[in-house]
Protein backbone atom coordinates (compact mmCIF):
# COMPACT_ATOMS: atom_id res chain seq x y z
CA UNK A 1 0.00 0.00 0.00
CA UNK A 2 1.52 3.31 -1.11
CA UNK A 3 1.13 6.65 0.63
CA UNK A 4 -1.48 7.83 -1.90
CA UNK A 5 -3.78 4.88 -1.12
CA UNK A 6 -3.30 5.43 2.59
CA UNK A 7 -4.23 9.12 2.24
CA UNK A 8 -7.40 8.17 0.31
CA UNK A 9 -8.42 5.72 3.09
CA UNK A 10 -7.89 8.37 5.78
CA UNK A 11 -9.88 10.98 3.83
CA UNK A 12 -12.74 8.53 3.23
CA UNK A 13 -12.83 7.71 6.95
CA UNK A 14 -12.93 11.37 7.92
CA UNK A 15 -15.63 12.09 5.32
CA UNK A 16 -17.74 9.19 6.61
CA UNK A 17 -17.72 10.45 10.19
CA UNK A 18 -18.44 14.04 9.09
CA UNK A 19 -21.46 12.86 7.09
CA UNK A 20 -22.53 10.59 9.95
CA UNK A 21 -22.41 13.53 12.37
CA UNK A 22 -24.42 15.92 10.16
CA UNK A 23 -26.94 13.31 9.04
CA UNK A 24 -27.60 12.18 12.64
CA UNK A 25 -28.04 15.76 13.77
CA UNK A 26 -30.41 16.49 10.90
CA UNK A 27 -32.63 13.47 11.57
CA UNK A 28 -32.73 13.99 15.34
CA UNK A 29 -33.40 17.72 15.06
CA UNK A 30 -36.25 17.00 12.64
CA UNK A 31 -37.98 14.62 15.04
CA UNK A 32 -37.21 16.83 18.02
CA UNK A 33 -39.08 19.76 16.45
CA UNK A 34 -42.14 17.56 16.08
CA UNK A 35 -42.01 16.50 19.72
CA UNK A 36 -43.85 18.57 22.32
CA UNK A 37 -42.10 17.33 25.50
CA UNK A 38 -38.82 18.79 26.72
CA UNK A 39 -37.20 15.38 27.19
CA UNK A 40 -37.99 12.92 24.44
CA UNK A 41 -36.83 9.60 23.16
CA UNK A 42 -34.98 11.46 20.42
CA UNK A 43 -32.91 13.32 23.01
CA UNK A 44 -31.82 10.12 24.69
CA UNK A 45 -31.11 8.35 21.42
CA UNK A 46 -28.87 11.24 20.34
CA UNK A 47 -26.36 10.32 23.04
CA UNK A 48 -26.45 6.67 22.04
CA UNK A 49 -25.82 7.48 18.38
CA UNK A 50 -22.80 9.65 19.07
CA UNK A 51 -21.10 7.26 21.47
CA UNK A 52 -21.95 4.16 19.38
CA UNK A 53 -18.88 4.45 17.08
CA UNK A 54 -16.57 4.60 20.13
CA UNK A 55 -18.22 1.52 21.63
CA UNK A 56 -18.01 -0.34 18.32
CA UNK A 57 -14.28 0.39 18.06
CA UNK A 58 -13.84 -0.61 21.73
CA UNK A 59 -15.64 -3.90 21.13
CA UNK A 60 -13.87 -4.78 17.86
CA UNK A 61 -10.32 -3.95 18.95
CA UNK A 62 -10.35 -4.65 22.72
CA UNK A 63 -13.32 -6.63 24.07
CA UNK A 64 -13.63 -9.17 21.25
CA UNK A 65 -9.86 -9.95 21.10
CA UNK A 66 -9.82 -10.54 24.88
CA UNK A 67 -12.61 -13.13 24.76
CA UNK A 68 -11.22 -14.70 21.58
CA UNK A 69 -7.82 -15.05 23.26
CA UNK A 70 -9.41 -16.77 26.26
CA UNK A 71 -11.35 -19.10 23.94
CA UNK A 72 -8.28 -20.05 21.90
CA UNK A 73 -6.32 -20.85 25.07
CA UNK A 74 -8.56 -23.93 25.51
CA UNK A 75 -7.97 -25.24 21.98
CA UNK A 76 -5.11 -26.92 20.15
CA UNK A 77 -2.43 -25.20 18.05
CA UNK A 78 -4.79 -24.56 15.11
CA UNK A 79 -7.80 -23.62 17.23
CA UNK A 80 -10.01 -26.56 16.19
CA UNK A 81 -9.82 -29.28 18.84
CA UNK A 82 -10.84 -28.52 22.44
CA UNK A 83 -8.04 -29.52 24.84
CA UNK A 84 -9.36 -28.09 28.11
CA UNK A 85 -6.69 -27.05 30.61
CA UNK A 86 -3.86 -28.78 28.75
CA UNK A 87 -2.24 -25.51 27.57
CA UNK A 88 -2.34 -24.06 31.08
CA UNK A 89 -0.83 -27.26 32.49
CA UNK A 90 1.96 -26.99 29.91
CA UNK A 91 2.65 -23.36 30.91
CA UNK A 92 2.99 -24.23 34.60
CA UNK A 93 5.47 -27.04 33.85
CA UNK A 94 7.46 -25.18 31.17
CA UNK A 95 10.82 -23.83 32.49
CA UNK A 96 10.88 -21.03 29.90
CA UNK A 97 7.49 -19.81 31.13
CA UNK A 98 8.68 -19.75 34.73
CA UNK A 99 11.85 -17.92 33.72
CA UNK A 100 9.76 -15.44 31.72
CA UNK A 101 7.60 -14.78 34.79
CA UNK A 102 10.69 -14.14 36.94
CA UNK A 103 12.19 -11.82 34.31
CA UNK A 104 8.91 -9.92 34.04
CA UNK A 105 8.81 -9.51 37.82
CA UNK A 106 12.36 -8.17 37.74
CA UNK A 107 11.40 -5.65 35.06
CA UNK A 108 8.29 -4.63 37.04
CA UNK A 109 10.24 -4.09 40.26
CA UNK A 110 13.24 -2.24 38.85
CA UNK A 111 12.22 -0.24 35.76
CA UNK A 112 9.15 1.71 37.05
CA UNK A 113 10.83 2.37 40.40
CA UNK A 114 14.10 3.72 39.00
CA UNK A 115 12.45 5.61 36.12
CA UNK A 116 10.08 7.36 38.52
CA UNK A 117 12.85 8.08 41.03
CA UNK A 118 15.30 9.46 38.46
CA UNK A 119 12.57 11.53 36.82
CA UNK A 120 11.57 13.10 40.14
CA UNK A 121 15.13 13.80 41.26
CA UNK A 122 16.19 15.29 37.91
CA UNK A 123 13.03 17.40 37.67
CA UNK A 124 13.71 18.77 41.16
CA UNK A 125 17.37 19.53 40.42
CA UNK A 126 16.88 20.89 36.88
CA UNK A 127 14.77 23.80 38.15
CA UNK A 128 17.70 24.99 40.26
CA UNK A 129 20.24 25.49 37.45
CA UNK A 130 20.24 27.96 34.56
CA UNK A 131 20.69 25.27 31.92
CA UNK A 132 17.92 23.11 33.39
CA UNK A 133 15.67 23.52 30.33
CA UNK A 134 18.43 22.23 28.04
CA UNK A 135 19.05 19.29 30.36
CA UNK A 136 15.33 18.41 30.38
CA UNK A 137 15.20 18.51 26.59
CA UNK A 138 18.19 16.18 26.28
CA UNK A 139 16.81 13.71 28.84
CA UNK A 140 13.36 13.77 27.22
CA UNK A 141 14.78 13.18 23.73
CA UNK A 142 14.89 9.33 24.02
CA UNK A 143 11.08 9.38 24.29
CA UNK A 144 10.99 10.32 20.59
CA UNK A 145 12.89 7.13 19.69
CA UNK A 146 11.12 3.84 19.11
CA UNK A 147 12.00 0.89 21.33
CA UNK A 148 13.63 -0.86 18.36
CA UNK A 149 15.65 2.26 17.55
CA UNK A 150 16.76 2.52 21.17
CA UNK A 151 17.75 -1.16 21.08
CA UNK A 152 19.91 -0.59 18.00
CA UNK A 153 21.62 2.41 19.64
CA UNK A 154 22.39 0.50 22.82
CA UNK A 155 23.52 -2.54 20.87
CA UNK A 156 26.46 -0.46 19.72
CA UNK A 157 27.18 0.45 23.35
CA UNK A 158 27.19 -3.22 24.41
CA UNK A 159 28.89 -4.49 21.23
CA UNK A 160 31.55 -7.15 21.72
CA UNK A 161 34.54 -8.02 19.53
CA UNK A 162 37.11 -10.70 20.28
CA UNK A 163 40.28 -9.96 22.31
CA UNK A 164 42.81 -8.11 20.18
CA UNK A 165 40.16 -6.59 17.88
CA UNK A 166 39.14 -2.95 17.94
CA UNK A 167 36.18 -2.56 20.26
CA UNK A 168 33.49 -0.38 18.70
CA UNK A 169 31.18 -0.87 21.70
CA UNK A 170 31.47 2.00 24.16
CA UNK A 171 31.32 -0.22 27.24
CA UNK A 172 34.00 -2.60 25.99
CA UNK A 173 36.17 0.27 24.75
CA UNK A 174 36.17 1.66 28.30
CA UNK A 175 36.81 -1.82 29.72
CA UNK A 176 39.84 -2.37 27.46
CA UNK A 177 41.16 1.14 28.15
CA UNK A 178 41.12 0.30 31.86
CA UNK A 179 43.20 -2.82 31.21
CA UNK A 180 40.47 -5.48 31.45
CA UNK A 181 39.29 -8.08 28.95
CA UNK A 182 36.26 -7.23 26.78
CA UNK A 183 33.03 -8.97 27.71
CA UNK A 184 30.01 -10.17 25.75
CA UNK A 185 27.75 -8.27 28.14
CA UNK A 186 24.44 -9.47 26.71
CA UNK A 187 25.34 -13.13 27.24
CA UNK A 188 26.11 -12.83 30.97
CA UNK A 189 23.12 -14.22 32.85
CA UNK A 190 21.27 -11.85 35.22
CA UNK A 191 23.51 -8.95 34.25
CA UNK A 192 22.19 -9.02 30.70
CA UNK A 193 18.66 -8.45 32.01
CA UNK A 194 19.87 -5.43 33.97
CA UNK A 195 21.59 -4.06 30.85
CA UNK A 196 18.31 -4.39 28.94
CA UNK A 197 16.38 -2.71 31.75
CA UNK A 198 18.79 0.23 31.55
CA UNK A 199 17.49 0.95 28.04
CA UNK A 200 13.88 1.18 29.21
CA UNK A 201 14.90 3.33 32.18
CA UNK A 202 16.80 5.62 29.79
CA UNK A 203 13.63 6.05 27.70
CA UNK A 204 11.01 6.35 30.44
CA UNK A 205 12.95 8.72 32.69
CA UNK A 206 12.19 11.46 30.16
CA UNK A 207 8.45 10.81 30.47
CA UNK A 208 8.61 10.96 34.27
CA UNK A 209 10.76 14.10 34.10
CA UNK A 210 8.29 16.09 31.99
CA UNK A 211 5.28 15.18 34.15
CA UNK A 212 7.11 15.86 37.41
CA UNK A 213 8.39 19.21 36.10
CA UNK A 214 4.79 20.33 35.62
CA UNK A 215 3.64 18.85 38.94
CA UNK A 216 6.41 20.56 40.93
CA UNK A 217 5.01 23.96 39.93
CA UNK A 218 1.81 23.14 41.82
CA UNK A 219 3.65 23.08 45.17
CA UNK A 220 3.15 26.48 46.91
CA UNK A 221 6.40 28.42 47.22
CA UNK A 222 5.21 29.69 50.62
CA UNK A 223 5.31 26.13 51.97
CA UNK A 224 8.85 25.55 50.71
CA UNK A 225 10.05 28.94 51.98
CA UNK A 226 8.50 28.32 55.41
CA UNK A 227 10.30 24.98 55.66
CA UNK A 228 13.64 26.61 54.78
CA UNK A 229 13.09 29.36 57.35
CA UNK A 230 12.40 26.70 59.98
CA UNK A 231 15.79 25.20 59.20
CA UNK A 232 14.75 22.18 57.13
CA UNK A 233 17.44 20.87 54.78
CA UNK A 234 16.76 20.40 51.08
CA UNK A 235 16.78 16.64 51.58
CA UNK A 236 14.23 16.96 54.39
CA UNK A 237 12.05 19.18 52.18
CA UNK A 238 12.28 16.65 49.37
CA UNK A 239 11.15 13.69 51.50
CA UNK A 240 8.69 15.48 53.81
CA UNK A 241 7.04 18.03 51.50
CA UNK A 242 7.67 17.36 47.81
CA UNK A 243 7.01 13.62 47.78
CA UNK A 244 3.74 13.84 49.83
CA UNK A 245 2.52 16.64 47.54
CA UNK A 246 3.29 14.59 44.44
CA UNK A 247 1.93 11.29 45.73
CA UNK A 248 -0.84 11.06 43.12
CA UNK A 249 1.52 12.08 40.31
CA UNK A 250 4.01 9.42 41.39
CA UNK A 251 1.22 6.84 41.33
CA UNK A 252 0.13 7.83 37.82
CA UNK A 253 3.66 7.76 36.40
CA UNK A 254 4.47 4.46 38.09
CA UNK A 255 1.28 2.95 36.64
CA UNK A 256 1.99 4.17 33.10
CA UNK A 257 5.54 2.80 33.11
CA UNK A 258 4.44 -0.47 34.73
CA UNK A 259 1.90 -1.12 31.98
CA UNK A 260 4.55 -0.32 29.35
CA UNK A 261 6.95 -2.75 31.03
CA UNK A 262 4.34 -5.52 31.02
CA UNK A 263 4.24 -5.20 27.22
CA UNK A 264 8.01 -4.97 26.75
CA UNK A 265 9.00 -6.85 23.63
CA UNK A 266 10.79 -4.63 21.12
CA UNK A 267 13.94 -4.01 23.15
CA UNK A 268 14.51 -7.67 23.97
CA UNK A 269 13.66 -8.77 20.43
CA UNK A 270 16.15 -6.29 18.92
CA UNK A 271 18.94 -6.91 21.45
CA UNK A 272 18.94 -10.62 22.33
CA UNK A 273 15.84 -12.14 20.71
CA UNK A 274 15.11 -13.68 24.11
CA UNK A 275 18.36 -15.67 24.21
CA UNK A 276 20.68 -16.13 27.20
CA UNK A 277 17.76 -16.26 29.67
CA UNK A 278 16.44 -12.80 28.81
CA UNK A 279 13.02 -13.93 27.59
CA UNK A 280 9.84 -12.33 28.95
CA UNK A 281 6.23 -13.37 28.43
CA UNK A 282 5.76 -11.15 25.37
CA UNK A 283 8.74 -12.78 23.63
CA UNK A 284 7.52 -16.26 24.48
CA UNK A 285 4.05 -15.37 23.18
CA UNK A 286 5.53 -14.16 19.89
CA UNK A 287 7.65 -17.29 19.51
CA UNK A 288 4.72 -19.66 20.09
CA UNK A 289 2.30 -17.68 17.93
CA UNK A 290 4.43 -17.02 14.86
CA UNK A 291 7.41 -19.40 14.78
CA UNK A 292 7.65 -23.06 13.91
CA UNK A 293 4.19 -23.11 12.35
CA UNK A 294 2.61 -21.32 15.29
CA UNK A 295 0.59 -22.57 18.25
CA UNK A 296 -2.40 -20.33 18.90
CA UNK A 297 -3.38 -22.28 22.03
CA UNK A 298 -0.11 -21.83 23.93
CA UNK A 299 0.40 -18.33 22.53
CA UNK A 300 -3.07 -17.35 23.80
CA UNK A 301 -2.25 -18.69 27.28
CA UNK A 302 0.82 -16.44 27.40
CA UNK A 303 -1.18 -13.47 26.12
CA UNK A 304 -3.84 -14.12 28.78
CA UNK A 305 -1.17 -14.18 31.49
CA UNK A 306 0.03 -10.74 30.35
CA UNK A 307 -3.54 -9.42 30.50
CA UNK A 308 -3.98 -10.82 34.01
CA UNK A 309 -0.87 -8.92 35.09
CA UNK A 310 -2.55 -5.61 34.26
CA UNK A 311 -5.69 -6.29 36.35
CA UNK A 312 -4.13 -5.93 39.86
CA UNK A 313 -2.46 -2.67 38.82
CA UNK A 314 -5.70 -1.18 37.51
CA UNK A 315 -7.66 -2.44 40.54
CA UNK A 316 -5.16 -0.88 42.95
CA UNK A 317 -5.27 2.43 41.09
CA UNK A 318 -9.08 2.39 41.16
CA UNK A 319 -9.00 1.71 44.90
CA UNK A 320 -6.60 4.60 45.48
CA UNK A 321 -8.73 6.91 43.35
CA UNK A 322 -11.89 6.12 45.30
CA UNK A 323 -10.00 6.42 48.57
CA UNK A 324 -8.79 9.92 47.62
CA UNK A 325 -12.31 10.97 46.61
CA UNK A 326 -13.63 10.01 50.05
CA UNK A 327 -11.07 12.21 51.84
Q: Could you tell me the CATH number of the domain that includes residue 176?
A: 1.10.3720.10
User: What averages of pLDDT result for each successive group of 10 residues across the chain (327 residues)?
Assistant: 74 80 72 58 66 79 84 81 82 83 87 89 80 80 82 83 74 80 80 87 87 82 80 79 82 84 82 81 81 76 82 76 68
The residue from 22, 38, 72 where one domain ends is 72
Same-domain status, 154 and 234: yes
Is 120 a member of any domain? yes
Same-domain status, 270 and 322: yes
Is 135 a member of any domain? yes
The span from the CA of 279 to the CA of 285, in Å, is 10
Is 81 a member of any domain? no
Domain hosting residue 24, numbered range: 3-72
The residue from 72, 102, 120 where one domain ends is 72
pLDDT value at residue 102: 87
Is 77 a member of any domain? no
Q: Is 281 exposed, middle or buried (0-12, 13-18, 19+ CB in 10 A)?
A: buried
Closest CA to 268 of 113, 106, 142, 118: 106
Q: Phi first, then psi: give them for residue 292, nearest 5 degrees.
A: 65, 30
Sign for the pseudo-dihedral over CA of 50, 56, 61, 64: positive
pLDDT value at residue 44: 65
Same-domain status, 56 and 205: no
pLDDT value at residue 292: 64
Tally of domains in the chain: 2
Is 89 a member of any domain? no
Same-domain status, 139 and 39: no
pLDDT in tens, 242-259: 888 888 888 888 888 888
Is 144 a member of any domain? yes
Same-domain status, 37 and 119: no
The span from the CA of 73 to the CA of 71, in Å, is 5
Same-domain status, 100 and 66: no
Asked if 206 and 139 count as a contact pair (C-beta separation under 8 A), the reply is yes
Is 233 a member of any domain? yes
The span from the CA of 63 to the CA of 65, in Å, is 6
Bridge partners, residue 75, by sequence: 82
pLDDT value at residue 33: 65
The residue from 72, 107, 128 where one domain ends is 72
Same-domain status, 123 and 156: yes
Same-domain status, 225 and 282: yes
pLDDT value at residue 306: 81
pLDDT value at residue 43: 60
Same-domain status, 68 and 18: yes
Same-domain status, 178 and 312: yes
Same-domain status, 185 and 39: no
Asked if 261 and 200 count as a contact pair (C-beta separation under 8 A), the reply is yes
Same-domain status, 307 and 273: yes
Is 33 a member of any domain? yes
pLDDT value at residue 12: 81
Asked if 310 and 259 count as a contact pair (C-beta separation under 8 A), the reply is yes
Amino acid sequence: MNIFSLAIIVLVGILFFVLFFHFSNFVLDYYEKKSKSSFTFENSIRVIIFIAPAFIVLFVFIIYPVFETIRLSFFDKVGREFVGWHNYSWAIKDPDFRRGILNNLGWLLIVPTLSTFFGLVIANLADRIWWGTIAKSIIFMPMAISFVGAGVIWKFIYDYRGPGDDQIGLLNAITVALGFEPQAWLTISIWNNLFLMAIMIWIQTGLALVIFSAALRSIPNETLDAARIDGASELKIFWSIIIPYLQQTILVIWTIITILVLKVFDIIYAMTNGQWQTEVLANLMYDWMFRGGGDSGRGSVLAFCIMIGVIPILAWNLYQHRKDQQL
